[in-house]
């Protein structure tokens, strides 16, 4: 499976108002492994950069003056993205700008080029509701080193997001842990395979089951009876009885 982690920097917040892309960073994953077949473009936007955007990424018009226009790299970018699954943090923002850039050239929406789009911001909100889920917050939460991120940069942010995505989706792959070895120094670790242990099963008490059911009932009431588990209960009960 081929995936492209993508990020952009722009002149402002609104492609509808004429804001343009000034940087694109792409990191390729194949079967969840970094291939180092990445793409990075700085682009001359042919317009001013908003001061608020400049404070975020620090990319000036003077620096971009001799860089290519989007039209100059559009074919290469489209070919690179073709058939891949895109991974983007807050996908509507970046896709809105890409669609506007491709649209100026008479090309179709970005989604027509790719196999699908994964929005890691949506994923993070589902995994950690009510928490801060910006890229820096996710790096801190997942142990991804973002110490070099003083300003936003498309390629750096795509590289960080690739690590974040792998951490978010890797799950637990084994029951092997590392534990300190007694008497062997503070840094010595031994690997212990927990799959050889008979782990106890602690069942919920009647009071805990009742409290759990009350929480589910409250959620069901709040959603006006649209919770998935309530719709599945008749089928589960029928299977158990049959």
**8-31 tens-digit pLDDT:** 999 999 999 999 999 999 999 999
Domain boundaries, the chain: 2-169, 206-241
pLDDT, residue 173, reads 44
Specify whether the CB–CB gap between 88 and 118 falls below 8 A.
yes
DSSP reduced 3-state for 36: coil
| Distance between CA atoms of residues 6 and 187, nearest Å | 38
pLDDT digits (tens, 9 = 90+) for 188-233: 555 655 555 665 778 889 998 999 888 888 888 887 777 776 666 6
pTM above 0.75, yes or no: no
Give the angle subtended at the CA of 83 by the CAs of 79 and 85, to the nearest 5°. 115
Cα 102 to Cα 79: distance, rounded to the nearest angstrom: 13
| Number of Cβ within a 10 Å radius of residue 111 | 14
CA-only gyration radius of the chain, Å: 24
Rounded Cα–Cα distance for residues 14 and 43 (Å): 17
Do 176 and 192 meet the contact criterion of CB atoms below 8 Å apart? yes
189 DSSP β-pair partners: 180
Task: Write down the mean pLDDT value for the chain.
Answer: 87
Bridge-based pairing state of the strands 33-34 and 21-30: antiparallel
> Which residues have a catalytic role annotated?
152
Cβ–Cβ < 8 Å for 72, 41: no
Residues 174 and 191 sit within 8 Å (Cβ to Cβ)? no
More confident residue, 48 or 148: 48
Is it true that domain 2-169 has CATH number 1.10.230.10?
A: no
Q: Each residue of 116-132: pLDDT tens digit?
A: 999 999 999 999 999 99
What's the confidence (pLDDT) of residue 223? 79
Q: Can you give the pLDDT at residue 189? A: 55
User: Which H/E stretch holds residue 32?
Assistant: none
Confidence band (pLDDT; 50, 70, 90) for 151? confident
Residue 84 has pLDDT above 90, yes or no: yes
């Amino acid at each position: 499976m081929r995936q492209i982690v993508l990020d952009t920097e722009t002149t402002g917040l609104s492609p509808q108002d004429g804001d343009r892309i000034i940087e694109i960073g792409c990191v390729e994953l194949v079967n969840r492994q970094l291939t180092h077949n990445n793409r990075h473009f700085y682009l001359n936007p042919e317009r001013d950069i908003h001061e608020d955007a400049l404070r975020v990424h620090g990319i000036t018009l003077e620096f971009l003056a001799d860089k290519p226009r989007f039209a100059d790299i559009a074919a290469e970018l489209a070919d690179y993205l073709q058939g891949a699954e895109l991974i983007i943090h807050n996908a509507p923002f970046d896709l809105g700008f890409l669609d506007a850039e491709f649209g100026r050239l008479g090309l179709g929406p970005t989604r027509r080029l790719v196999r699908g789009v994964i929005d890691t911001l949506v994923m993070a909100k589902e995994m950690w509701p009510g928490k801060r889920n910006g890229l820096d917050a996710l790096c801190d939460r997942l142990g991804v080193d973002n110490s070099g991120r003083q300003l936003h940069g498309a390629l750096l942010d795509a590289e960080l997001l690739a690590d974040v995505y792998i951490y978010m989706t890797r799950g637990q792959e084994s029951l092997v842990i590392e534990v300190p070895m007694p008497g062997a120094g503070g840094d010595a670790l031994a690997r212990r395979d927990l799959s050889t242990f008979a782990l106890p099963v602690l069942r919920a008490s009647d009071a805990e089951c009742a409290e759990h059911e009350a929480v589910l009932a409250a959620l069901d009431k709040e959603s006006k009876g649209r919770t998935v588990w309530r719709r599945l209960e008749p089928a589960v009960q029928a299977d158990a009885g049959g």
